A and B are shown apart, each in its own frame.
Chain A
Amino acid sequence: MVDEGSKPKKREGTTLWLLKIIGGLLIILLLGIHFVINHLVAPGGLLTYQDVINYYRTPIVPVMEIFFLVFVVSHSLIGLRSILLDLNPSDYLLKIIDRILVIVGSGASIYGALLIIFLANKGA
């Protein structure tokens, strides 16, 4: 059984590949916590607005959620790049793709972090 995911691609680089693998493992851990609190503990499987505000009152929660967000966004965009590499883009196109992914990733992380900080301040 050969699996291409088990080694870096030619233009992926060991650092990005390692980030993807280690990030993936950390996400499983953080997703477990995120999922249990947000969907299993909450009545009906979803938190109300007040529940969310109360949840973010615990100081460790915003920090954990921001880490989770950054790991998820990075892992998904590095993974998306890896899939796009299968389509053998030219070096020029890959540069454009990289720039778009960095902009999208930074934008999503900043937006999500600001939302988390906003919620944490609401509960303070």
Chain B
Amino acid sequence: MHNQPAPIHFWRWFDPRSHKPGTWAFILNRITALGLTLYLAMHLVALSQLAMGPAAYDNFIQLAKTPVIKLGELLVISAGMIHGLNGIRIALTSFGIGVRIQKQLFAGLMVLVLAGILIFAFSMFGGA
């Protein structure tokens, strides 16, 4: 499979078989990008509650503290970390830095992501 899929092969993004690290990096970057763009739109709409005054906003904040929404937030944080750290790798290699150690860089950054997700999960749900 090439890193740049043809439209009819779009579904292969979600097929976990026979992917090389570069393809995984590409797929993860695209899926998290779409998720984060959707979240950005929802975030902007949700923040309109701020214009409706304290009662509307604070009620919304109470809703945001429910476990389902918190789980959604953890997903957003995870997507942000994956996209951000993988993005740093892309930026570095774009300027010719670390091109030969891309695989190791990707693996190392994903380990950092995993550690970050665990820390945030503990901080969000550990004390509950």
Contact = CB atoms under 8 A, between A and B. Distances in A.
Contacts, number: 97
A1 B22 contact: yes
Question: How many of chain B's residues touch chain A, expressed as a range?
Answer: 35 or more
B122 to A, nearest CB: 13
Contacts of B114: none
Contacts of A4: 3-4, 26
A6 B47 contact: no
The main secondary structure of chain A at its interface with chain B is helix
Interface residues of A, number: 37
Contacts of A6: 90, 93-94
B61 A46 contact: yes
Interface of A: 1-7, 21, 24-25, 27-28, 31, 44-50, 52, 72-73, 76-77, 79-80, 83, 86-88, 108, 111-112, 115, 118-119
Given A28-B88, A48-B61, 7 more contacts: A1-B25, A6-B93, A6-B94, A25-B88, A44-B65, A83-B30, A87-B10
